[in-house]
Structure 1
Amino acid sequence: MQEALIKEIVKKVVDTLEGGKTIPIEVSARHVHLSENHIKELFGKDYKMSKKKDLSQPGQFQYNERVTLIGPKGVLKGVAILGPARDKTQVEISKTDAIALGINPPVRESGDLDGSEKIYIATEKTVIEANESVIIAKRHIHMTQEDAKRLGVKDKQLVRVRINSDRPVVLEDVVVRVNSRYRLSMHIDFDEANGAGYEDGTLGEMII
């Protein structure tokens, strides 16, 4: 309830900043997007995944089910699965996670998986090998066409964003992603959030 209230307050603040370049920031924890085939392999042919909650981006949600990631040097348990299912399994982790697992995934935009790292994904039922599936997500901003027009940017443009926190930093090479289904929000991982002293409700300021 408190998290939802904070997000709504942030949205209202942003909506009142006419012509401003202020953007709400969200921290994206490690998670997995599974393909339909991998869902069947990991949980069973007739298994029905159950939704836990909706996410801030319309149409995106988190399942109740969790998986374990297994690398050459370590294991990460209880990793969230996000839906809906995708054509190809994608695993998004931080650099710290990658070091713990003993792998070296590239920093990529979502969906750019060619040549990315492989990982083993496990449930109580089985273990599968997911080739070319692991990336460190490139920091990015979701926005609609109306947001892009107001902010003076275009799809795939790289911008800089100042994180307005107790430990302010400027993040470079932030990808603008424009789609009518998106809701304005910048996504960073926990490494970036911790380095910037992120707290719930932290806002960013776009610098073009």
Structure 2
Amino acid sequence: MTASPATLDRRQVEQMVRQVLRDRLGGASPTYHRAPTDNGGPNPLVVNVSARHVHVRPEDLEVLFGPGAKLTKLKDLYQDGEFATEQTVNIIGPRNRMIPNVRILGPARDYTQVELSYTDGVFLGIDLPLRISGNHEGTPGCILVGSHGALNLQRGVVRAERHVHMSPADLAHFNVADGDIMKLKIDGPCGLVFERVKVREHPKVKLEVHIDTDEGNACHLPSATSMQLIK
């Protein structure tokens, strides 16, 4: 007996395309590679890769997920009070290309911001400015799609400037001030030195450097043998 050719309807094809995009582009909660080392200070130095993610203000959350929507915690992040949520959005750029299932991080903020890597920007067709979180002057926008609706974000899409969170005790140890620039030396098989790591002060923060996915891949952070902040 000869088998008849299989057919796929449009819905099945769309499901397959979405799954391929998920597999190739990710979209899980932010991936953190923790590699503490003894820096002689009051707190261990931790360097983490901050994957693509979104911050939202409450009114935009309701547009995306419906009236009364609240962020639902999926897991805690390294900094106290910060968490990955169960909510994800699809990001659509000017080339009509999409990155699906990008995680929203909580808690809610007073602005909506999309943080992507340089590679993400190339894929979407967005010329990403390098910015510290919250600085949206002259930044591009995108379309965010949630389970309830879509948001035409006019600005707030950035590539996060690499930075280090420090408490007052950490500032004193490294002899730096908020806004200063440091270097991060990564030792290991793919070791390198990151220039222009901006210091960000907060009275109740853990000592932590944030780099993006491209930077974490460049130094292969999981294989790092030691890290050092240099003034």
Give me the TM-score of the superposition, normalised by structure 1: 0.89
Q: Which of 51, 57, 60 is matched with 2:73 structurally?
A: 51
C-alpha displacement of 1:165: 2.4
Correspondent of 1:76 among 75, 90, 99: 99
User: How far did 1:131 drift?
Assistant: 1.2
Aligned to 1:66: 88
Q: Identity of counterpart residues, as a percentage?
A: 35
- Deviation (angstroms), 1:107: 0.1
Q: Whole-Å Cα distance in 2 between the matches of residues 19 and 122 of structure 1?
A: 44
- Give the Cα–Cα distance (whole angstroms) in 1 for the partners of residues 225 and 53 of structure 2: 22
User: C-alpha displacement at 1:160, in angstroms?
Assistant: 1.1
Specify the alignment match of 2:138 in structure 1: 115
Extract unaligned runs of 5+ from structure 2: 1-32
1:192 aligns with 2:212: no
Give the aligned CA root-mean-square deviation in angstroms: 2.0
Q: Secondary structure at the match of 1:166?
A: coil
Gap change, CA 1:200 and 1:33, over 3 Å in 2: farther
* Higher-strand-fraction structure: 1
State the shift of 1:157 in Å: 0.2
Change (3 A) 1:176 1:203: farther
Q: Shift of the alpha carbon at 1:115?
A: 0.8
Larger RCO (CA within 8 A; separation ≥ 6): 1
- CA positional deviation for 1:87: 1.0
Q: Corresponding residue for 2:5?
A: none
Q: How far apart are 1:26 and its partner, in Å?
A: 0.2
Would the aligned equivalents of 1:20 and 1:151 in 2 still touch at CA under 8 Å? no
Q: In the TM superposition, what is the alpha-carbon distance from 1:47 to its structure 2 partner?
A: 2.3
Larger Rg: 2
Q: Which residue of the partner structure matches residue 104 of structure 1?
A: 127
Is the 2:188–2:224 Cα contact (8 Å) retained in structure 1?
Answer: no
Note if contact 2:168-2:201 (Cα within 8 Å) is conserved in structure 1: yes
- Distance in structure 2 (CA, Å) of the matches to 1:120 and 1:162: 37
